[in-house]
Amino acid sequence: MKVIVRLGDSLWYYSQIFGVPLQLMIDSNRKVNAQELEIGSKINIPGFIIKNYNIKQGDTLWKLARKRNLLPDALFILNQGIDPENLQVGQEIYLPSRVTMPIINAKQNYDYQTLISDLKQLQEIYPFLRETSIGNSVLGAKIPEIRIGRGKKKVHLNGSFHANEWITTAVIMKFMNEYLLSLTNMGSIRGFYMDPFYYECTLSIVPMLNPDGVDLVLNGPPNEEPYRSSVVEINKGSLDFKDWKANIRGIDLNNQFPANWEIEKERKEPKSPAPRDYPGDAPLTEPEAIAITQLTKKRDFNRVLAFHTQGKEIYWGYEGAEPREAEPIVREFARVSGYRAVRYIDSHAGYKDWFIQEYKRPGYTIELGEGVNPLPLSQFDEIYQQSLGIFLASMYM
C-alpha cells in the first residue's frame, strides 16, 4: 500500500499509526531519505492493501477507523482532499486493510508462472523483501532470489534442483509467506516471535532453480525447438515426464558441481542427456548450476539448505570437510522434523558437497516426504509441518 506524504509526516509516524515495526517501514522505502520525507512523494506501508469502500448511513472516518483498530489519521492519509465532516452516502473512499492471512495458495501444482505471480503479490504487500534475478535458465526464464532480513548470519534455502521435486518450491513459498505475515503483524510461528529473526538473520531463498524442468513435468514439452523435440526423444517418445529430474537439456543439475565430479561422471549410468542422473560433459556447464554457484560466492553464506524429495532424511557432511558446528545443527533439524540425519553417503558433485568442500561450513540436503516422486499434494500439509521446524532452526541455531 502506498500513501502520499504530507507536511510533518515521517516513517516513524507511519509506523505508529499503522502498527508496523519502524525497521520494516524503513526497509520498505530504501530509495527515500528516511530522515526527511519529500511532501507529495509516495511511501510504501508494508502489510497493508487498499480497499474501496462506499459510505453508508451513519459512517464517519472515526467510526470506520475504530472498527479496524486504526487511528483515524490512517484513513485521513489515504483520503486527502475529502472533507471528513461532509461524507455523502454512496461516496467512495479508500480504506487501509491489514493483511492477516497468507495470500498465496502453495498447495497446488506449483509451476514457474505460479511462482512469478506469487512473488509479484508478495513484493507488493511486503516491499521490504528484496528480489533479484541470479541468472536465466536454458530457456531464458529468470531465476529469482528473495532476501529477507538484516542479520549478519546469512542462511540460504533453495528448492527444485530436480524437476519432479517441484513440491519443494511450494513448501518454501508457504513458509516465506508465513514468515512475512508474522513480521508485519508482530506474530509468532511455533511460539517464536519473528522480529528477532529479522535482525539476526539474512535469509536468501531461491525457490525454483530449475524452472524449465518443473514446467516440463507439470505442463509438458516447451514450444521452443530444438528443446521440444529433444526432450521427447530423451524421454523415449513418451509425453509423460513425471520421472524427469534434469534440466531441459537432460542434465542433472545436482550432479554438476566440482566436488569429485569425475567420480560421478565415471560411474553414472547415463552417458548422454537423460531424464535423470547425467552429470554433463563437464562440471558447471549449465546456466542454472552456474547461477547458483555465482550467487553462493557473491553472498558468502554461513550455511545452505537444499530441499529435495524424498526419504525423510537429512544429508550432511562431505569428505570430512564439514565444521564441528554442523552436527548440533543437524541434530536439531532431526529433532524438530522427525527426519533421520545421515552424515555420509556415497555421492559426489552435489551442491551441498561443493559448498562444504569450498567453504568448510554447514551444508544440508533435506529429503522431504516419502514415496515416489513427484510426491502427491495429499502429502503437502504433513511435509510442511515436518519442514517448518527446519526452516526456523536454520535461522536461530
Residue numbers annotated as active site: 367
Measured CA distances, 329 to 19, 176, 317 (Å): 35, 21, 12
Place of cell 545443527: 329
Rg of the Cα atoms in the chain: 24
**What is the widest separation between alpha-carbon atoms in the chain?**
80
Cβ atoms of 145 and 205 closer than 8 Å: yes
> Which cell numbers in the block locate residue 226?
530444438
Q: Collect all residues with Cβ–Cβ distance below 8 Å to 189 and sequence separation of at least 6.
A: 178, 179, 182, 388, 392
Q: Collect all residues with Cβ–Cβ distance below 8 Å to 281 and sequence separation of at least 6.
A: none
Q: Collect all residues with Cβ–Cβ distance below 8 Å to 60 and sequence separation of at least 6.
A: 84, 87
